[in-house]
Amino acid sequence: MLSTEAQQTLFTNARTHNGWQDKPVSDVLLHELYDLMKWAPTSANASPARIVFVKSDEQKSALLACMAEGNLEKTKTAPVTAIIGMDMAFYDQLPQLFPHADARSWFAGNQALIDATAFRNSSLQGAYLMLAARTLGLDCGPMSGFDADKVNATFFAGSEVKVNFICNLGYGDASKLHARGPRLSFEQACRIV
């Protein structure tokens, strides 16, 4: 059981940030981030997420050309923007990732299962990335507003990877937070049977 302070860092006090402090995020920290998130579970250990961490001015400009207008300023000022992609050929890695069975054969040729597995599990891994980032003291700002075809052409050309969602990372500027939105009650979202 984690401490109340850890629960606050991960969930109860953590906020989606739109404004960023002028404080860099090192490549070492991005490696630490991956080395946490990679351990959380995916179906058949398939691990379909592929991540591009955009840091350079040149690549950030290329990404800004793909973003919806409401996401431009926050993406421009974030020290890192993570593009969470999904490898639609993830099953080709299963001989490495799931060596004790022919797991590749469970997927190859079944496009509906491939699509659902890639989307579900890369989304899980995107959530792991965000909570791993908070674990390391970073703040997150996830976004769905972008031109997916343009992101794919710019960052994943010549591969089987497709963008899932995009997430700014850095140290948030709490003075730029809006009021927190309400959540559904337990009774609205859950039941125990």
Beta bridge partners, 87, equal 161
> 3-state class of 30 per DSSP?
helix
Determine, following the binding rule CB under 8 A, whether residue 159 of this chain makes contact with a copy of itself. no
User: What residues from 12 to 31 belong to the interface with a copy of itself (CB under 8 A)?
Assistant: 12, 14, 16, 27, 30-31
Tokens encoding 97: 């990732």
User: What residues from 43 to 102 belong to the interface with a copy of itself (CB under 8 A)?
Assistant: 43, 45, 47, 49-56, 59, 93, 96-99
Which range binds a copy of itself by CB under 8 A, 34-42, 71-79, 168-176?
34-42
Contacts 24+ apart (CB under 8 A), 106-114: 106/44, 107/46, 114/88, 114/90
User: What residues from 122 to 151 belong to the interface with a copy of itself (CB under 8 A)?
Assistant: 123-128, 130-132, 135-137, 140, 142, 144
Q: Least separation, in Å, of the C-beta of 77 and a copy of itself?
A: 18
The residues, ordered by sequence, that sit 6+ positions from 50 with a Cβ below 8 Å of its Cβ are 85, 86, 87, 122, 156, 161
